[in-house]
Structure 1
Amino acid sequence: MKKILILANNSIGLYNFRFELIKELINQKYEVYFSVPEQLDDEKVQLIIKAGAQHIETYINRRGINPFEDWKLIKDYKKIIKEVNPDLILTYTIKPNIYGTYAAKTTDVPVIMNITGIGTSLTNSKLKKIVINLYKYACKKAKFVFFQNKSNYNLFISNNMVNPNKTIVLPGSGVNTNRFMPVSKIKRDEKVRFLFIGRLMKEKGIEEYLGVADTLSKKYKNIEFQILGPIEEEKYKVNMLNNKNKQIKYLGVSNDVRNEIREVDCIVNPSHHEGMSNVLLESAAMGKPLIASNIPGCKEIIDDGQNGYLFEVKSAKSLKKTLIQFIELDKNDKENMGKKARIKVEDEFDRSLVINEYTKVINYIIKGGKNELI
């Protein structure tokens, strides 16, 4: 039985966005191993194990830049590759992409890399040159590279970081349109509820969201701004604890975001950068209108004025104007936006499209593809 090793930086993302792929690989008689930092008793780890995959716990500091930690991660990956002896390695996110490929270089095990987003490390970070060089090396060694949006692809091509003949641009991670479906609200009142879903950190646009929420809640008494997600930066913990505005509600974290998405009227994603926004894809699949920054990873999902609105990234003024525009729509227009959001996701972003591309490339490589995929 052929073995596939997956290197990822957390179990939640692996389960939420790759679970169907893992199940399909197991159905195709591959032996699947997955490396994540979470322990055996983690809920998502257990769900992946029950599907038939084998768990490997590997410490990884997702945002850290300690070279000693990163060198240890490379050594851990080398050890895992030696012990598992996989026929193919799949990597996701920057550290598994770069260090996993580096660890695999002496073994001749082919690597399929997925550029899930570029983050600040390739935009305005002091590490930009270093990261570009690291990615150049990794992409050269990788057998195949998937991108989640055209903008990220163009960045890599323009910087000569990857050979275009071994790349494909996917529709993000796709969305399971059978799991995320339109459902009726339980609460029924006249309030207009907005929902921010994501890690509470500056790069996700939480400052713009909170600032505009505070301003608009003074003008409109029938609106509510909800926040769902883990607190990544300490200052936002203080902000949430000291919040006195009853129209701004921190919901904590959720085991199933469908419960929170169901009860709101619109999803707001003010992120500064995205690979392809899974929050928008899942919410659109549930028939919710979308409001998001006009950036790669969001603008592909939103047809401005049709299934939602785009606003200028990092601009509280632009976000405020766009939220007012939505608030003042009549009920039918809001509902039609949601219906169009669902239709677009079904047509362009169903997860089956992603799984088909992955299995095609995986089977090609394992069954003897020598050069580029034709």
Structure 2
Amino acid sequence: MANSSVGLYNFRFELINKLIEQGFEVCISLPESAEDRNVKLMINAGVKHIQTHINRRGMNPIEDLKLIKEYKRIIRNINPEVILSYTIKPNIYGAFAASKCKKPLIMNITGIGTSLMNSKSKQLVIKLYKYACQKSKFVFFQNESNYSLFTSMKLVDYQKTKIIPGSGVNTSKFKPVNTVKQDNIIRFLFIGRLMKEKGIEEYLNAAKNLTNKYPNVEFQVLGPFEEEKYKIILGESKYDRINYLGISNDVRNEIVNIDCVVNPSYHEGMSNVLLEAAAMGKSLIASNIPGCKEIIEDGYNGYLFEVKSVTSLEEKLIRYINLDNKEKDLFGENSRKKVNDEFDRNIVIGEYMRAINRI
């Protein structure tokens, strides 16, 4: 159960293939239809697809009750041996439904999001997560901070938890590509949904300031518009070195042509954007938050800056701009080494198979 075909295909497809290889029948519950590109790829691999309506960001109780009923209907029809859930609504409402149907569920806390930051909904979400964790058979966390939060608040029994290195990264798919630089332009890239919480405002403000000061820098933006105002902001941009690239079916095509990936997000589970860029041997700059600081060692393979601070971000961007080419190359080499040692996706798949086999 997941809330996006993009996340399921990009970050869990190797696990799906492993389950199919082991003789499991795999069904996926997603909001996208069978015509969606990523859904088609998973169906072609041998999965059964069930379209399930999910309003990812809404807090409408009637819609959410409908989702619980839909999950219960799906579980009763499929009669699964085990259920895997990702992201907040599939986690919480999937656990409700699985419990009612007496089926084991393995939950993955991919990040705490705004639900545990926003005071209006915080107490409600805490209660819902506590119930869901109690009803889950096993709970994976993607970083130490989220794990500590849940265990300190007694939302989950630590004995049925495990911290994994995010979603891991496919180091065979994402790998360095030797290219010859045709100019002296330093290219930065933001990858993500265009919304305030992803830090797009800080990125654009820093980009505007630095393109005025440095003639040899370019800032790129890649991803869908989650909030419409950014479509207007980027559409009206008068800066010829701030470029919106649209949406990509394979981010390797964009990552290969840049020098450094920037992730100014306010919160992360474990940043897949940084992991994939690191695996391709790129330098990294990101907010000093859980889910980013595990991937970046400041001064080793990139820089960390103060979250929500344009000034701090600019300082680190300038520091990177002033590095010589050998220092930039070393950052990239160190990124690849760190991913190989700590974040290979096979580590995550192994932990899932162990949990599934125990059940």
* 1:124 CA drift (Å): 3.2
Q: 2:188 aligns with which of 172, 194, 206?
A: 194
Q: 1:146 aligns with which of 137, 140, 157?
A: 140
Q: Which residue of 2 aligns with 1:185?
A: 179
Q: Which residue of 2 aligns with 1:174?
A: 168
Kindly indicate whether residue 32 of structure 2 is the aligned counterpart of residue 35 of structure 1.
Answer: no
Q: Which residue of 1 aligns with 2:224?
A: 230
Q: Which residue of 2 aligns with 1:369?
A: none
Kindly indicate whether residue 55 of structure 2 is the aligned counterpart of residue 61 of structure 1.
Answer: yes
The answer as to whether partners of 2:190 and 2:262 remain within 8 angstroms in 1 is yes
Kindly indicate whether residue 247 of structure 2 is the aligned counterpart of residue 253 of structure 1.
Answer: yes
The answer as to whether partners of 1:117 and 1:276 remain within 8 angstroms in 2 is yes
Q: 1:327 aligns with which of 301, 321, 328?
A: 321
1:165-203 superposed Cα distances (whole Å, 9 cap, x missing partner): 000000000000000000133652100000000011000
Q: Which residue of 1 aligns with 2:83?
A: 89
Q: Distance in 2 between matches of 1:62 and 1:106?
A: 23
Q: Which residue of 1 aligns with 2:70?
A: 76
Q: Distance in 1 between matches of 2:335 and 2:117?
A: 30
Q: Which residue of 1 aligns with 2:106?
A: 112
The answer as to whether partners of 1:35 and 1:57 remain within 8 angstroms in 2 is yes
TM-score (norm 2): 0.99
Q: Distance in 2 between matches of 1:108 and 1:73?
A: 18
Q: 2:13 aligns with which of 16, 19, 38?
A: 19
The answer as to whether partners of 2:72 and 2:101 remain within 8 angstroms in 1 is no
Q: Which residue of 2 aligns with 1:299?
A: 293
**Poorly superposed stretches of 4+, deviation over 3 Å:** none
The one-letter code matched in structure 2 to 1:203 is E
3-state SS, counterpart of residue 239 of structure 2: coil
Q: Distance in 2 between matches of 1:237 and 1:41?
A: 26
1:220-251 superposed Cα distances (whole Å, 9 cap, x missing partner): 01100000000111110110110110010000
* 1:125 CA drift (Å): 3.6
3-state SS, counterpart of residue 70 of structure 1: helix
3-state SS, counterpart of residue 151 of structure 2: helix
The one-letter code matched in structure 2 to 1:53 is V
* 1:107 CA drift (Å): 1.8
Kindly indicate whether residue 40 of structure 2 is the aligned counterpart of residue 46 of structure 1.
Answer: yes
Q: Distance in 1 between matches of 2:66 and 2:179?
A: 48
Kindly indicate whether residue 97 of structure 2 is the aligned counterpart of residue 103 of structure 1.
Answer: yes
The answer as to whether partners of 2:72 and 2:100 remain within 8 angstroms in 1 is no
Q: Distance in 2 between matches of 1:124 and 1:57?
A: 30
| Number of corresponding residues | 359
3-state SS, counterpart of residue 31 of structure 1: coil
Q: Distance in 2 between matches of 1:267 and 1:45?
A: 28
The answer as to whether partners of 1:145 and 1:167 remain within 8 angstroms in 2 is yes
1:86-145 superposed Cα distances (whole Å, 9 cap, x missing partner): 111000000000001101112211000000000111123410000000000000000000
1:6-43 superposed Cα distances (whole Å, 9 cap, x missing partner): x0001110000000000000101011100001101111
The one-letter code matched in structure 2 to 1:201 is M
The answer as to whether partners of 2:84 and 2:107 remain within 8 angstroms in 1 is yes
1:46-89 superposed Cα distances (whole Å, 9 cap, x missing partner): 11111111100001010011111111111110110010011110
Write out aligned runs for 1:215-294 (5 A): 215-294=209-288
Segments of structure 2 that go 5 or more residues without pairing to the other structure are none
The answer as to whether partners of 2:301 and 2:334 remain within 8 angstroms in 1 is yes
Q: 1:156 aligns with which of 146, 150, 155?
A: 150
The one-letter code matched in structure 2 to 1:126 is K
The answer as to whether partners of 1:186 and 1:263 remain within 8 angstroms in 2 is no
The answer as to whether partners of 1:201 and 1:233 remain within 8 angstroms in 2 is yes
The one-letter code matched in structure 1 to 2:217 is I
Q: Which residue of 2 aligns with 1:356?
A: 350
